[in-house]
Amino acid sequence: MRIEGVILDWAGTTIDYGCFAPVQVFIDVFEEIGIPVTMEEVRAPMGQLKRDHIQSLLQMPRIEAAFQAKFGRSYTETDMNELHDRFEPRLLAILSQYGKPNPYVVETVRQLRQQGLKIGATTGYTSTMLSIVAKAAKEYGYEPDHWVTPDLVMDKGRPYPYMIYENMKQLGLRHHAQVVKVGDTISDIQEANSAGVWAIGIVKGSSMLGLTEAEAQQLSPEEERHIIAAVSKSYMEAGAHAVIEDMSQLPAMIEQINERLMNGELPYAKPHQ
């Protein structure tokens, strides 16, 4: 038994280094209703369907209390819809600028394809959003064999497993133990765990790191080691089976997983915490 397919996340994993496209838009729309949110708060639910992301923010104790203090009531479904209605057109307007592949993505995907692996993709973006991103990425030379968005699986995005399952169905992947999921957020790891596939976290370019490429390059070796260790620890505690620093390490990591499979080790689905 060997790995037959790789399911890659989009923003922060294969494109949009640092996963910045949605972050500022979230900050702006909450600012407009008089409830400032921090970049750390915005990044915590990253990878979820964007409407779910808004709900996760509103459920955070500090933000929930701020909403209550501002409006004298708890948030409602209408509030979530209004925030999403503000958020979506602004994100759509800028997404075409965020399709450039992260370092080593194009070369690594080419290498994996030459080895016979299928390349799928999942995301927190809707189909409308991802169509813009995918078109831009294709112009740079990156295009997965298939991609799935939450609205194609009845809005059951991460941490549900259905985007991975739909990729497996469309790509003809037979067994969850022969599939690897690579992502840059805790919700990516949860998605992989829910599906029972191998979960790999990526550090450089990730939302977890939250740095631009220029900022990452300016880190001292000691700072870089410290940050890589901290991000890796978060991934492993969330249920990752492995962590890579950047996409160039993925082929070697897949070989290590193939060895684990040969030794009888299988991935497993942890209960969603």
Q: Cα–Cα distance between 223 and 206 in angstroms, integer?
A: 16
Residue 201 near residue 232 (C-beta atoms within 8 A): yes
Q: Are 116 and 218 within one domain?
A: yes
Query: 31-55: per-residue pLDDT in tens?
Result: 999 999 999 999 999 999 999 999 9
Q: Which of 36, 64, 97 corresponds to the end of one domain? A: 97
Query: 84-121: per-residue pLDDT in tens?
Result: 999 999 999 999 999 999 999 999 999 999 999 999 99
User: Is there a domain that residue 235 lies in?
Assistant: yes
- Looking at the structure of the chain, the number of domains it has is 2
Residue 227 near residue 218 (C-beta atoms within 8 A): no
Mention every residue, 6+ apart, whose C-beta is less than 8 A from residue 250. 6, 108, 112, 182, 200, 244
Smallest Cα–Cα separation from 53: which of 133, 201, 159? Answer: 159
Confirm whether residue 9 is marked as ligand binding. yes
User: Is there a domain that residue 39 lies in?
Assistant: yes
The pLDDT value given to residue 165: 98
- Walk across the sheet containing 146-148 and list its strands: 146-148, 118-122, 5-8, 179-183, 198-202, 242-244
Q: Are 64 and 176 within one domain?
A: no
User: Is there a domain that residue 131 lies in?
Assistant: yes
Q: Are 134 and 216 within one domain?
A: yes
User: Is there a domain that residue 272 lies in?
Assistant: no
Percent of the chain with pLDDT over 70: 98
User: Is there a domain that residue 104 lies in?
Assistant: yes
Question: Whole-number mean pLDDT of the chain?
Answer: 96
Q: Are 106 and 211 within one domain?
A: yes
Q: Are 167 and 49 within one domain?
A: no
User: Is residue 271 very low, low, confident or very high in pLDDT (cuts 50, 70, 90)?
Assistant: very low
CATH code of the domain covering residue 174: 3.40.50.1000
The pLDDT value given to residue 273: 39
Q: Are 72 and 132 within one domain?
A: no
Q: Are 12 and 122 within one domain?
A: yes
Q: Which of 43, 77, 97 corresponds to the end of one domain? A: 97
Q: Are 93 and 168 within one domain?
A: no
Whether the per-residue pLDDT at 270 is higher than 80: the answer is: no
Q: Are 143 and 222 within one domain?
A: yes
User: Is there a domain that residue 144 lies in?
Assistant: yes
Ramachandran assignment for 104, one of left (phi > 0), alpha (psi -120 to 50 degrees), beta (any other): left
Confirm whether residue 11 is marked as ligand binding. yes
Q: Which two tokens stand for residue 196?
A: 């029972």
Query: 52-70: per-residue pLDDT in tens?
Result: 999 999 999 999 999 999 9
Q: Which of 42, 73, 97 corresponds to the end of one domain? A: 97
Q: Are 72 and 143 within one domain?
A: no
User: Is there a domain that residue 190 lies in?
Assistant: yes
Q: Which two tokens stand for residue 116?
A: 């016979």
Active-site residue, 50 included: yes
Q: Are 111 and 89 within one domain?
A: no
- Residue 30 to residues 37, 74, 86, Cα–Cα distance (Å): 7, 15, 10
Which of 9, 16, 52, 188 is an active site residue? 9
Query: 145-193: per-residue pLDDT in tens?
Result: 999 999 999 999 999 999 999 999 999 999 999 999 999 999 999 999 9
pTM over 0.85: yes
Average pLDDT over residues 242-269: 95
Q: Structural domain of residue 85, as residue ranges?
A: 21-97
Q: Are 239 and 117 within one domain?
A: yes
CATH code of the domain covering residue 73: 1.10.150.240
Which of 16, 50, 188, 204 is an active site residue? 50
User: Is there a domain that residue 110 lies in?
Assistant: yes
Average pLDDT over residues 13-42: 96
